[in-house]
Structure 1
Amino acid sequence: MTGIFDTHAHYADSAFDEDREQVLEELPRKGVKLVMLAGSSLEDSAANAELAKRYGYIYAAAGVHPESVDETPADYIDRLKSLIASHPKVKAVGEIGLDYHYENYDREKQIRFFREQLALAAELDMPVIVHSRNAAEDTVDILKEFRPRGVVHCFSGSAETAKEILKTGMYIGFTGVLTFKNAKKALKALAEVPMDRLLMETDCPYMAPEPLRGRRSDSSMIEFTAAKAAEVKGIPVQELIDITCRNGMTMYGIE
């Protein structure tokens, strides 16, 4: 495969500390054209921006993940603004959103951070990368209110939820989850997503697709996810990769 755009990756993650440079130098030779790095904290977002400066095919997003809200300083919006202003390859606010998976989560605080970062994206006229886990109703309600440009990433929800997200104008991104044996719900959702609103991603180092499940993921593994998506859509794999690459470039404003 050629022309792969991995629209959501985490190469600043510690899982790549031992061989990050080697991995990133090899990806273009494995068919990877573009990578978007999603930020999970202020520190991670800054690291993403530095990687984007070093590698021409890498771009970055800056944001605070819902699991990071408790460790984030009060002036985080100003710090995100400063980071975005000083790095032209930062193209989105993210990943932001809601995660109600773990016990003792602070729903109101997560919602406040989500709203504040959606407002920042609107102010800066930037797309957003949205994380939503066990929080579909609140996520959809807030997206309907703000109507941002962007993507709900790593989607594994219902077809009904996908339809509601699409009504807000958002793209939907799918990972290696599509290849898992228990992926019936995600595959039904994929069937509802028009080709012009579909993105491919790894969420690496997580979510490696079958037959590589359990390994550290990287952007070259999108070919397995794309193959499953192309099967559902009834088109050649390379055509799906080309379309989703164009979609990602359009959404992120990459020429």
Structure 2
Amino acid sequence: MIELADSHCHIDFPDYESSHGELIGNARELGVRYLLNISVCLEDFPRVLAVAQSDPEVFATVGVHPNYDSVEEPTADRLVELAGSEKVVGIGETGLDYFRHHVEPADQLARFRAHIEAARRLDLPLIIHSRQAREDTVAMLREAADQGVAGVMHCFAEDWETARAALDAGFYISFSGIVTFKNAPELREVARKVPEDRMLVETDAPYLAPEPYRGKTNQPGYVRYTAERVAEERGETLEALAEATTENFLRLFRISRNG
């Protein structure tokens, strides 16, 4: 039986008609054992944490998305304070998003640095969101690396040059359902090249459902279809890809395997 890890989902979001318990159960039926529920603002963090506390193999992060405005601005002290639970295994999602300027780039950069500082103090990995901000994101990854901080580029959708820069800075690369889309041949090339020990898979649920569910509400169980496509591109079995990406997930987030 395969055991996958969905390294990035938002099952506390109100998009779902099903409860988070049902979503977790559905994921387990598809071979997805571990889930990481990601924080996007501090106001919702209690809900994010509650989902993680409901199941021994679901975990949480604390952070503020780069393009969320009208929310509590994160300071390193506040992030450290909220990360006190043993279920919190990462800082973020943070990063840069210049696609929509709900938050000005200068403010996004300052927010990013607060997350880097919190990750440095806690020795936790960062979860990085990047959209139309390649140059500044790579510079910030190097800045984080200089402080001994690494993590994962979530929902990676860039080219191999960007992936290589992230890998050189010590970051993992996580593939979402985008890798299954017909218009993503360049991303599939990246999936073929990323070293086996630096790769993760995710859903970013409720967004970006993979084929054959594209256009529908995503859920953690669908990470199986992303893993199948990545395995196919790499000429590997799903079982081998699942084993490698799950071990990477446990190692990056320092999670002990239960059972």
The TM-score by the shorter chain falls in which range? over 0.9
Cα separation, 2, equivalents of 1:149 and 1:121: 9
Q: Secondary structure at the match of 2:229?
A: helix
Percent of residue pairs bearing the same amino acid type? 36
Cα deviation, 1:146-193, whole Å, max 9, x if unaligned, reads 212210000010111111111101000000101101011211222221
- The equivalent residue for 1:107 is 105
Cα separation, 2, equivalents of 1:106 and 1:55: 37
Say if 1:22 and 1:109 are closer, same or farther in 2 by CA, change over 3 A: same
**Letter matched to residue 230 of structure 2:** A
- The equivalent residue for 2:212 is 211
Question: How far apart are 1:102 and its partner, in Å?
Answer: 1.2
- The equivalent residue for 1:80 is 79
**Letter matched to residue 66 of structure 2:** P
Q: Secondary structure at the match of 1:210?
A: coil
User: Do the aligned residues in 2 keep the contact of 1:42 with 1:76 (CA within 8 Å)?
Assistant: no
Asked if residue 239 in structure 1 is aligned to residue 240 in structure 2, the reply is yes
Question: How far apart are 1:25 and its partner, in Å?
Answer: 3.2
- The equivalent residue for 1:38 is 38
Say if 1:175 and 1:248 are closer, same or farther in 2 by CA, change over 3 A: same
Question: How far apart are 1:75 and its partner, in Å?
Answer: 6.0
- More off after superposition, 227-236 vs 171-180: 227-236
- The equivalent residue for 1:163 is 164
Unmatched segments (≥5 aa) in structure 1: none
**Letter matched to residue 35 of structure 2:** V
TM-score, normalised by the number of residues in structure 1:
0.94
**Letter matched to residue 150 of structure 2:** R
What CA RMSD, in Å, does the superposition of the two structures yield over aligned residues?
Answer: 1.5
- The equivalent residue for 2:95 is 97
Cα separation, 2, equivalents of 1:136 and 1:88: 33
User: Do the aligned residues in 2 keep the contact of 1:46 with 1:83 (CA within 8 Å)?
Assistant: no
User: Do the aligned residues in 1 keep the contact of 2:67 with 2:102 (CA within 8 Å)?
Assistant: no
Unmatched segments (≥5 aa) in structure 2: none
Q: Secondary structure at the match of 2:167?
A: helix
Cα separation, 2, equivalents of 1:218 and 1:75: 28
Say if 1:75 and 1:208 are closer, same or farther in 2 by CA, change over 3 A: closer
- The equivalent residue for 2:115 is 117
Q: Secondary structure at the match of 1:213?
A: coil
Cα separation, 1, equivalents of 2:197 and 2:73: 38
- More off after superposition, 151-160 vs 223-232: 223-232
- The equivalent residue for 1:252 is 253
TM-score, normalised by the number of residues in structure 2:
0.93
Cα separation, 2, equivalents of 1:145 and 1:222: 31
Say if 1:21 and 1:106 are closer, same or farther in 2 by CA, change over 3 A: same
Cα separation, 2, equivalents of 1:53 and 1:166: 32
Question: How far apart are 1:81 and its partner, in Å?
Answer: 2.0
- The equivalent residue for 2:144 is 146
Question: How far apart are 1:145 and its partner, in Å?
Answer: 1.5
Say if 1:101 and 1:21 are closer, same or farther in 2 by CA, change over 3 A: same
Cα separation, 1, equivalents of 2:124 and 2:222: 28
Cα separation, 1, equivalents of 2:245 and 2:57: 16
**Letter matched to residue 120 of structure 2:** A
Cα separation, 2, equivalents of 1:75 and 1:176: 29
**Letter matched to residue 22 of structure 1:** E
**Letter matched to residue 71 of structure 2:** T
Number of residues paired by the alignment? Answer: 253
Cα separation, 1, equivalents of 2:19 and 2:45: 20
Cα separation, 2, equivalents of 1:75 and 1:2: 38
User: Do the aligned residues in 2 keep the contact of 1:6 with 1:219 (CA within 8 Å)?
Assistant: yes
